[in-house]
Structures are given as structure tokens and as C-alpha cells.
Structure 1
Amino acid sequence: MQPQLNSNNSSTIVHSNQGFRKWWQLTRPHTLTAAFAPVLLGTVLANQNHTIHIGLFVAMLVASLLIQAATNMFNEYYDFKRGLDNENSVGIGGTIVRDGVKPKTVMQLALSFYGIALLLGIYICMLTSWWLAAVGLVCMAVGYLYTGGPVPIAYTPFGELVSGFFMGMLIILISYYIQTGAVDGYSILVSIPSFILVGAIMLSNNIRDLDGDKENGRKTLAILIGRKNAVTLLAGMFIVSYIWVFILMALQLVSPWLAIILISLPKPINATKGFIGKKMPIEMMPAMKATAQTNTIFGLLLSIGLFLGYIL
């Protein structure tokens, strides 16, 4: 005899799933890989000459993910407060304008994530150096000021530069430092493609939102140089990232195994093509997604190549 599904239980499960989904969407999960890939890369770099402390790796990874998620929540909160988001806006979590969550709740959750990240930072400093506390606080301040404060960084031409440095290069260098106790030229050189590709994610976002941002008085890089030039710049950023790795291989600074990054090449090609000739934000979403995937897959393949070069 078939068991009967209770309708009340069924509706409870559906409601629970929908509830989880709206909170999960608030973190903008497609952006979280921008925090994961640099932590992994910095740790793999350190593993070539040092034994990895798993506790430090996990603490750094979770703290980075929490800060990234909180930054996304600040974005959601302040864009709503400034009247930039509505229920038809593309590329937002939508928890406030579509799901009816109170803005205050979003802000409180973001600050809670910051609080947990701060505790993890204290743990990291206890095992490494308290100088990292200053660096961590600056990173958290930048995460807030990216869309908060009187002049949000995201509304200026410096969004790509700031996000690329703090969410790309600096995360790699901190992850490397907490395992090795130092930052050297080698780690800086290898982190440059991540710097560029995280900046590319922000540029792709600004290309998509160009018209709306212009109407609302933003002065992003994409607005200043125009859509066509911005797409050309995005393609150039992809090209430089790949060429940079091959230059490092030619100089014998890294293993030839890093050529494995070529597996990810279809993603930046699709991203560039996806922006050409498009004007509607919804049309450009696949291209923006491909840009984020480029950063993730490139970073993972770079880590794999470094690891293979170390063990083989």
C-alpha cells in the first residue's frame, strides 16, 4: 500500500524550500567563488614549500566567504535605500524588493556575518601575526564602503581596481602569508591574473547595468569609456590574464603544467561574444555568468597546475 503524503506536510516542505532559497539568493552565490578561488590558490602556492595548516585554511576560507556574502547584502540594502532596485531589476538577490524581507533584517544579517568573520580573523591572528588584524579591518571596511557610505566605490571608475585588488590579489597574498609567514615576489606575480579576473567580474556587471547606472548618476568605468570600449577592455583583461601565465612559464617561474588553464578558454570567449551587440540587461546575463565562471575555473585550473607541477 502506497503511503499517503500529507498535504500540510507537503506545503510546509515547499514553504521551507522557498524560504531557504530566498536567503541563499541574498548571498548572491554566483559571486562567492570570487572568494573561494583566491584562498585555494594562495594555499596551493604555500604548499609548494610549507606544510599547510588546515585550521588556518578553513578559517580563511570561511571568513572570505562571509565577507563576500555580507558585501553583497550591503549592496542589496543600499541599492534599495537609494531607490535603484525594484522587483524587475536584473542581477540582484531580490530579497527586499521581491520577497518582502525588511531592509533592517538584511543589514543585521550582513553585520552578523562580519562579526563571525571578525572572530575567525582573531583566531588567524593568534596563530600568525596581529598585523593581519589591520589588513583584515581594511578589507571589511572596503567591503562595506563598496556600496555604502556617502560616495560608494561601486559608483566610481575605481570599482574594478578596488575589487580586483582586495578580492583577487590580497586574498591570495593573505592566504599565502598565514601559511608561510611572508609575502614574496613569486606569490605576487602568480596572483596578478586573479587581480585582473575579479576586476573583470565587476566590469561585466557595470557593462550590464550601464544604462540604469547612467540614469542614476553613477560614474562607473563602463559609463566613462562607453559600452563598446568596455567590452573591448573586458576582452583585453581576459587576454592579459592568459598571456601572463604563459610569460611566467617562459621565464621558468612556474611549471608548464599551468598550461592547463587553456581548458577554461571557451568561457571568456563566450563572455566577450555575449556582450557584443547586446543592450538589454537580461540579454547580457549569460555573458556576465560566463565572466564569473572564467575567474572560478581559471583559478581552480591554476591551482591544479601548480599542484601537479609540485608533485610530478
Structure 2
Amino acid sequence: MVKTNSIKAWFLAARPVTLSAAAVPVMLGVALAYKDSSANCQWVPALLCLLFAWIMQIDSNFVNDFFDFKHGNDDETRLGPKRACAEGWITMKAMKWGIIITTLLGCIIGLPLAFYGGKEMIIVGICCVLFCFLYTTKLSYLGLGDLLVLLFFGIVPVCCTYYLVMPEGMQTVSAEAILTSIACGLVVDTLLILNNYRDYDNDIKAGKKTLIVHIGKKNGERLYCAMGNIGILIMIGINIYGALAYDADTRFLPFAATYLVVHNRTFAKMRKIGEGRMLNKVLGYTALNIFTFGMISTFIILGMMW
């Protein structure tokens, strides 16, 4: 039993399991900066980037919870995990205030990053806030959710974190950071692909034209499999290139096989289950796989400097 507007209710509404997807891009950006600066990176912006990512993820979850319930998407036919507004854990009025507070908190935490990266960081922050709202209210209905994940869970956080954490005078965005950001975005997108795969029938009824609705469930399965595999293969390629170009260490490269195994096992479970609430278990495995990818990729990056 969850008491309305209680601490437990807000904790569940924040969806803590999703915070790993927000932390992994920042972790990779910091690892790259640590390697390229010979451990001379800036730690204050690293902490601010992590806090900003977490707050904006929670904000996005609140926005999603509020507007999906308002639009009638979180009804009794919903197959996904329970949502706070739909279950009555959080009132609509309280959720509005929750969205306002987390949005303001995100802006307060993100604003000092302009000191480290210039006024351009303010524009990046505004885009993060803007698309946090546009995703649920508009863009997810147009099949653009996966593109936003690639941008805001891959390219933007990895590259911006790398840029901000690098020492003053060395701030740039390397080709390695760009490739890593793409790999990260592809792997994190497996979570959205699986979510939309599970909700395929309900999304068609609601007129929500996700990418999976456009391409079909079978192609959705193939896309899920490909995204994870391509992501780790990019990291393997970065390490091999580093070994050939400047004698970088490859001692952690074999660990990449761990992610390949767990990702493809999860894909097999996804395909076997096919539909229904049992896919929520696969969602949990996918979130764990993303964290596994983040840890392995971090070790690969840091291992290249030893």
C-alpha cells in the first residue's frame, strides 16, 4: 500500500531504475576526459553533470507520468510498470509541483556549467529542458523518441561532459568522444525500443506512432539486437584502433564479450516472450545491461592509458 503523496510515492514516481541510463553517458564522458587529460580533469563540472543528468531524468519521468495519465494512455490496459498518477500515489496537482520543482532544480544545478563551458552550455541546458517536455507531449507520438535518446542519452551528455571536464585550454570534443557517445546512445535506446515493443498494440490504439509501430514488431526485435551489438562493437573498434595507432592497452577488451553475451541472451528472452507484462522483466534486464555496458566501456577507456 502506497500512501498518497508520501516519500515512498515520490520515490516510485522518480523511477530510480532509470537513473543508470542517465549516469552511464556522464560516466563515459568523465572516463574519456580522465584518460585524455592524464588524470588532470576537473571534478566539479563532472559532479554537476551527473546531478543535472539525474534531476533531468527524474523530471522527464514526472512529465511522462503526468501527461500520459492526462491523455488517457495509462489506463487499465497498460502493460508497463505501474505509474504514480494512474495508481493515485501522486495527485495531479502535486505532480505539477513536482515537475516545476525538478525543472527549477535542474536549471539551478546546470547553470554553473556555463562557468566551465561558456554561454553555449546555457543553450544546451535549455534544449535539455525543452525536449524533456516535448518528448512526452509531442515527439514520442511522431516516432522521434529514438532520435532523442541518441541525442540526449548519447551525443549531448557524453560530448558535453567530456568538454566540460577537460582542463581549461584543452577543451575540445575528440573523435573518440563522438564515437563513444554514439555507441552509448545506441545501447541506451534498447530500453526505449523494448518499451515500445511491449506497448505495440496499445500504442496503435492510442494513435502513438512510435518507431516500432512504423517498422513492426519483428523489425523491432532485429533493431533491439543490432543496437546493443553495434554499440559494444564501436567500443571494441576504438580500443583496437588505439592499440594500433598509439600502443594503447587492450587488457580490458575481453570483457566486452560479457556484454555481448548478456545482451544477446536478453534479446532471446524478448523474442521468446513476444508480448504481455512478462516483458517488464526483460526491461529490468535491459537496464542492467546498459549499466554493464557503461562499466565495461569505462574500464576499456581507462585501460587504454595504462
TM-score (norm 1): 0.88
> Which residue of structure 2 lines up, in the alignment, with residue 155 of structure 1?
141
Following TM superposition, by how much is the alpha carbon of 1:19 offset from its aligned partner in structure 2, in angstroms? 3.3
Following TM superposition, by how much is the alpha carbon of 1:41 offset from its aligned partner in structure 2, in angstroms? 0.7
Following TM superposition, by how much is the alpha carbon of 1:145 offset from its aligned partner in structure 2, in angstroms? 0.6
Task: Choose from 163, 170, 175 the match for 2:161.
Answer: 175
Q: In the superposition, relative to structure 1, how do residues 162 and 15 fare at CA in structure 2: closer, same or farther (>3 Å)?
A: closer
> Which residue of structure 2 lines up, in the alignment, with residue 268 of structure 1?
263
Cα pair 1:45 1:306 within 8 Å, conserved: yes
Give the Cα separation in 2 of the matches to 1:155 and 1:255.
45
Aligned to 2:109, what secondary structure does the other structure show? helix
> Which residue of structure 1 lines up, in the alignment, with residue 188 of structure 2?
198
Matches within 5 A, 1:293-308: 293-308=288-303
Cα pair 2:69 2:75 within 8 Å, conserved: yes
Code of the residue aligned with 1:80 in structure 2: it is F
Q: Which moved more, 1:158-167 or 1:266-275?
A: 266-275
Q: In the superposition, relative to structure 1, how do residues 15 and 306 fare at CA in structure 2: closer, same or farther (>3 Å)?
A: same
Q: In the superposition, relative to structure 1, how do residues 238 and 15 fare at CA in structure 2: closer, same or farther (>3 Å)?
A: closer
Matches within 5 A, 1:1-312: 19-50=6-37, 51-86=40-75, 89-148=78-137, 152-180=138-166, 181-252=171-242, 255-256=249-250, 257-310=252-305, 312=306
Structure number with larger C-alpha Rg: 1
Following TM superposition, by how much is the alpha carbon of 1:93 offset from its aligned partner in structure 2, in angstroms? 4.7
Which structure's relative contact order is higher, taking Cα pairs within 8 Å and 6+ residues apart?
2
Identical-pair percentage: 23
Q: In the superposition, relative to structure 1, how do residues 144 and 258 fare at CA in structure 2: closer, same or farther (>3 Å)?
A: farther
Give the Cα separation in 2 of the matches to 1:279 and 1:204.
10
RMSD of aligned C-alpha atoms? Answer: 2.1
- Gaps (5+ residues) in structure 2? none
Give the Cα separation in 2 of the matches to 1:93 and 1:258.
39
Give the Cα separation in 1 of the matches to 2:162 and 2:253.
18
* 1:164-191 Cα deviation digits (max 9, x unpaired): 2111221011110101222121211122
Aligned residues: 295
Aligned to 1:265, what secondary structure does the other structure show? helix
* 1:14-35 Cα deviation digits (max 9, x unpaired): 988x933321110111111111
Give the Cα separation in 2 of the matches to 1:134 and 1:252.
33
TM-score (norm 2): 0.89
Following TM superposition, by how much is the alpha carbon of 1:279 offset from its aligned partner in structure 2, in angstroms? 4.2
Cα pair 1:85 1:97 within 8 Å, conserved: yes
> Which residue of structure 2 lines up, in the alignment, with residue 5 of structure 1?
none
Give the Cα separation in 2 of the matches to 1:61 and 1:137.
17
Code of the residue aligned with 2:290 in structure 1: it is N
- Gaps (5+ residues) in structure 1? 1-13
Cα pair 2:239 2:301 within 8 Å, conserved: no
Cα pair 1:169 1:192 within 8 Å, conserved: yes
* 1:15-59 Cα deviation digits (max 9, x unpaired): 88x933321110111111111011111011001132222221111
Q: Which moved more, 1:105-114 or 1:241-250?
A: 241-250
